[in-house]
Structure 1
Amino acid sequence: MTRHQIDPRQFSDSDLARHLLTVRGVQWMNGDRGAPLALLLRDHGVDPHTLHATLRGTPVLRQTDLDVWVTACHEPAAALLADPRLTSQDTALGRRRRRVYSLGAGATVKYVLTVDDTALAADHADSARSAELTRDWLSGPAVERHRARTAAAFTGLALPDGERDAFDLLTDFVRPGTVAALAGLLGLPPGSVERYAALLPATTHVLDSLLCPPTLAAGRALVEGYDGIAALVDQALAAPPELPDGALAGLLRAAGGDTAPVRSVALLTLVVGARLATGLACSTVAALLAHPDEWDAVRREPARAEAAVAETLRYDPPVRVVGRIAGEAMEIAGLPIAAGDLVTVLVDAAQRDPAAHPEPDRFLPGRTAGAAPLVFADPRISLLEPVVRLVATEAVRVLVARRPRLTPAGEPVRHIRVPVTGAVARFPVRTAGRTAATQDGAVAAPR
């Protein structure tokens, strides 16, 4: 019997804690006996790349636990993410199991919890409808109109400019710039942007909590942060004449005034889009700092920031694991998959599959060989690709221009229990001194 995620709002602290601890305990025990997916999901004391190598080869899809399947190979991963029979909901059992998980459940928990059954649960048909709705507002050509404004969101941030002053890449630069960029893109009322900035950090586990139980405190904070951002969206949608002429107003017009789909798209952008953009920007900077020749290439030619971000999507993606549920009995790679089984794609492993990518463990911006990244093949987040790429690219481009001699001031510190996103909590960096680009705080906006 498949167990689905629960809505933490419906449970007391004691019941929610029991659910989270039980799932955590089961993942921990399964990891101790060598179950590879459990080792990855418990997110402790394992080198994922070493583990990924053991999962490649034949069979390309492996059963790692009761009614749970996993692949680390690119070709089947791409096929699985494109298969409409694999869904975000178990249709046979309704939209959610409403009982906490217990050791006597007789099944593996599928999704641990979720805070939204709409914005976070899109399937292929939902994705197609959203793509049509957002075509003129969040597609590639649409968001390109906001490139200069997005760059300005990062250019306008105050950074320490004293000799060898340190700052936190995430909290001082990437996240506040992302907040300003996304708020401007959607056209949130100016008075709500500060509140959005305050709420966003609490939503860090929004994707990770699907497959890995957060702590009780993090789970409650996630609900508070998500609901707070939802309230900001609802307030904006309740008074559309007062909205700036941003994507939110345009989406309302495209939807004929129907607020439900617009609300889902806005929440997906403001919460998940922000999580992916900040993760991608931080990972790109980390990769560039670890490869000084590539950092210098971006410094000399700022347009190369786009290639660096594109390669990071493959090399260190902002989504590492995607779990989908078989909506019907099916056969995948010659193996019988029962309805309700969990099929898990290890995106980061598949994107380093030597069968799909030459020299997969090298960071090579501008590479022309190899398959397309799989991150946005997940229909739940597919429409976010143009926005996430734009924000991350401008963050990297502006940072390199403003701090061309940036160096790490310590190792990036990651949150606990974030196997899906690898979310950074702190990223200390140090500037080697002032340059002409930073003396007046100005960086030329892209044309």
Structure 2
Amino acid sequence: MTRNQIDPRLFSDSDLARHLLTVRGVHWMNGDRGVPLALLLRAQGIDPHSLYEAMRGQPALRQSDIDVWVTVSHPAGTAILSDRRLTRRHARDARRRKRIFTLDAATTPKHVLAVDDTTFGLDHDDHDRLHQLTDPVFGPAAVNLRRGQVAGVFAERAGDLGGEFDLMTGFARPGVITALADLIGLPVETRPRFAELVMGTVPVLDALLCPPTLAATRRLIASFDGIKAMLVELLDGRQLADEVLRRVNGTEQSTVDVLSACLLTMVVGTHVASNLICDTVLALHRRPDQWDLVRADPSLAGAAVEETLRYDPPVRIASRIAGEDAEVAGLRVNAGDQVVVLLDGANRDPEVFADPGTFRITRTDPAAHLTLDDLPTRFVAPVVRVLAAEATRALVTGVSRLDMAGDVVRYMRSPVAGSMARCPVKAGG
């Protein structure tokens, strides 16, 4: 957390609007000065890869502002995302009274909104504990055991497709919600309400760095709080995540951890997996030779997902705050400084990946992409991978070809997630 990362629940509409507009204005003004990070956070019709080439080379970590550091280097990004001195929030600032950002503020706008620190403010030690506690349900082995059930969900949805449909609203998102609801045992009668609420949380990953509108912020908080209240009630009644609850030792911390795991899975998991499915299918559509490879060998669906995570990731920016003075990528970073990894740039680092601008599912590059290495997405990575692979497999094997039936529409102010609103397509064969 940074000094100007505020909880919207604690501020009036006028103060909250002033905070959001001022941060947006600073991004806009810095973008006009040609600051790459500001141009990206403006999220206003710019191709990010057009900026990255000028940011490559040495030093790998460069200042975007006096206390903001940015990298598109894969090795530097790998080191930053694993460095426990770089946290989701600064411990010193977390104890201060949060203030709305003003133009005479002593620091640059870094993290903008706090949706829920017990879910999105967790650091390395917190996530280690979370993984250990919930591994029997949300870990890679446990999720893989449910692969057949997930495949059945998407096979059923793919079997109903024909003619024109929306890839996001008619296939990806409803399939993901069903599969995740099955995973945690969400009662059937609560699912329509959950599906309605999750739509309001679309900006949840972007709101850390890019200010939503006032209306979108209020909807985000109300929707998230609605989902949280629903899960709390179900957990209190032991109607949810029974395999995890059996391991809970009854402490307050373990109960909070189970709730955090369910929130990360149902909120972050829904949006990351839904966007990843759509972008994987679109990437294959644009490369018919790659589509044909998956169609001929459905086991390559997982490879198509991994290449999409590298080539067109559903999480594009990771931000950390230095918890102490440290040397990062060979440069001194002061406590409280922001360190940003441009994931989609690092994933196309020509020093690491051969022919990085080409989508190719048969890659044998020795290094892996960094897309799911940030803390909130690291937790949901196992289930996201299974959902996306099985959805891609079901669609590509069930539909011989796919044509666009309109323009892909993405949400505005979504520089982190690039969230998709609509994707009209037409099935053939």
TM-score by length of 2: 0.96
Aligned partner letter, 2:135: R
* Mapped partners of 1:97, 1:281: distance in 2: 41
> Which of residues 252, 255, 260 is equivalent to 1:264?
260
Aligned partner letter, 1:249: D
Counterpart check, 1:326 vs 2:322:
yes
- Post-superposition offset of 1:160: 6.4
> Which of residues 206, 227, 230 is equivalent to 1:229?
227
* Aligned 8 A contact 2:2 2:111 in 1: no
> Which of residues 363, 366, 369 is equivalent to 1:370?
366
- Post-superposition offset of 1:334: 2.8
* Aligned 8 A contact 2:24 2:210 in 1: yes
- Secondary structure class of the residue paired with 1:406: strand
* Mapped partners of 2:137, 2:246: distance in 1: 11
- Post-superposition offset of 1:333: 2.7
| Pair 96,78 (structure 1): closer, same or farther in 2 beyond 3 Å | farther
Counterpart in 1 of 2:299? Answer: 303
* Mapped partners of 2:355, 2:330: distance in 1: 29
* Mapped partners of 2:264, 2:409: distance in 1: 25
Question: In the TM superposition, what whole-angstrom CA distance separates every residue of 1:71-97 from its partner, at most 9, and x where no partner exists?
Answer: 000001100000000001111122575
Question: In the TM superposition, what whole-angstrom CA distance separates every residue of 1:389-446 from its partner, at most 9, and x where no partner exists?
Answer: 001111111111222222111231110000001111111100125xxxxxxxxxxxxx
Aligned partner letter, 1:23: V
Aligned partner letter, 2:224: Y
Aligned partner letter, 1:122: L
| Pair 306,210 (structure 1): closer, same or farther in 2 beyond 3 Å | same
* Mapped partners of 2:335, 2:5: distance in 1: 17
Counterpart in 1 of 2:419? Answer: 423
* Mapped partners of 1:427, 1:114: distance in 2: 30
Aligned partner letter, 1:196: F
* Mapped partners of 1:186, 1:161: distance in 2: 27
Counterpart in 2 of 1:396? Answer: 392
Counterpart check, 1:211 vs 2:214:
no
- Secondary structure class of the residue paired with 2:119: coil
- Larger mean CA deviation between 303-312 and 88-97 belongs to 88-97
TM-score by length of 1: 0.92
* Aligned 8 A contact 1:313 1:375 in 2: yes
* Mapped partners of 1:8, 1:121: distance in 2: 15
* Aligned 8 A contact 1:55 1:71 in 2: yes
Question: In the TM superposition, what whole-angstrom CA distance separates every residue of 1:96-134 from its partner, at most 9, and x where no partner exists?
Answer: 752111111021111110211011112111111111112
* Mapped partners of 2:46, 2:397: distance in 1: 36
Counterpart in 2 of 1:440? Answer: none
Aligned partner letter, 2:208: L
Counterpart check, 1:168 vs 2:166:
yes
Question: In the TM superposition, what whole-angstrom CA distance separates every residue of 1:315-356 from its partner, at most 9, and x where no partner exists?
Answer: 111110001000011122332211101000001100000111
Aligned partner letter, 2:405: A
* Mapped partners of 2:2, 2:195: distance in 1: 37
Counterpart in 2 of 1:253? Answer: 246
Aligned partner letter, 2:272: L
Note the residue ranges of structure 1 that are not aligned, 5 or more in a row: 434-447
- Post-superposition offset of 1:368: 1.4
> Which of residues 402, 408, 413 is equivalent to 2:409?
413
Counterpart check, 1:78 vs 2:74:
no
Counterpart in 2 of 1:351? Answer: 347
- Secondary structure class of the residue paired with 2:70: strand
Counterpart check, 1:53 vs 2:53:
yes
- Larger mean CA deviation between 406-415 and 28-37 belongs to 406-415
Question: In the TM superposition, what whole-angstrom CA distance separates every residue of 1:144-181 from its partner, at most 9, and x where no partner exists?
Answer: 1111211222233377655xx21111001100000000
Question: In the TM superposition, what whole-angstrom CA distance separates every residue of 1:214-266 from its partner, at most 9, and x where no partner exists?
Answer: 111111111111111111211210111x44xxxx1111122224421100000
Aligned partner letter, 1:419: P
| Pair 171,228 (structure 1): closer, same or farther in 2 beyond 3 Å | same
Note the residue ranges of structure 2 that are not aligned, 5 or more in a row: none
* Aligned 8 A contact 2:113 2:208 in 1: yes
- Post-superposition offset of 1:4: 3.5
* Aligned 8 A contact 1:160 1:166 in 2: no
Aligned partner letter, 1:392: A
- Post-superposition offset of 1:306: 0.8
| Pair 96,297 (structure 1): closer, same or farther in 2 beyond 3 Å | farther
* Mapped partners of 2:366, 2:294: distance in 1: 22
* Mapped partners of 1:318, 1:345: distance in 2: 14
Counterpart check, 1:36 vs 2:32:
no
* Mapped partners of 1:414, 1:159: distance in 2: 26
Instruction: Show structure 1 runs of 4+ deviating over 4 A.
Output: 158-162
| Pair 111,2 (structure 1): closer, same or farther in 2 beyond 3 Å | closer
Counterpart in 1 of 2:155? Answer: 155
* Aligned 8 A contact 1:123 1:380 in 2: no
| Pair 221,96 (structure 1): closer, same or farther in 2 beyond 3 Å | farther
* Aligned 8 A contact 2:3 2:94 in 1: no
Counterpart in 1 of 2:17? Answer: 17
Question: In the TM superposition, what whole-angstrom CA distance separates every residue of 1:185-226 from its partner, at most 9, and x where no partner exists?
Answer: 111112111111111111111010000001111111111111
- Secondary structure class of the residue paired with 1:46: coil
- Post-superposition offset of 1:3: 2.9
Q: How many aligned positions are there? A: 426
* Aligned 8 A contact 1:325 1:340 in 2: yes
- Post-superposition offset of 1:361: 0.6
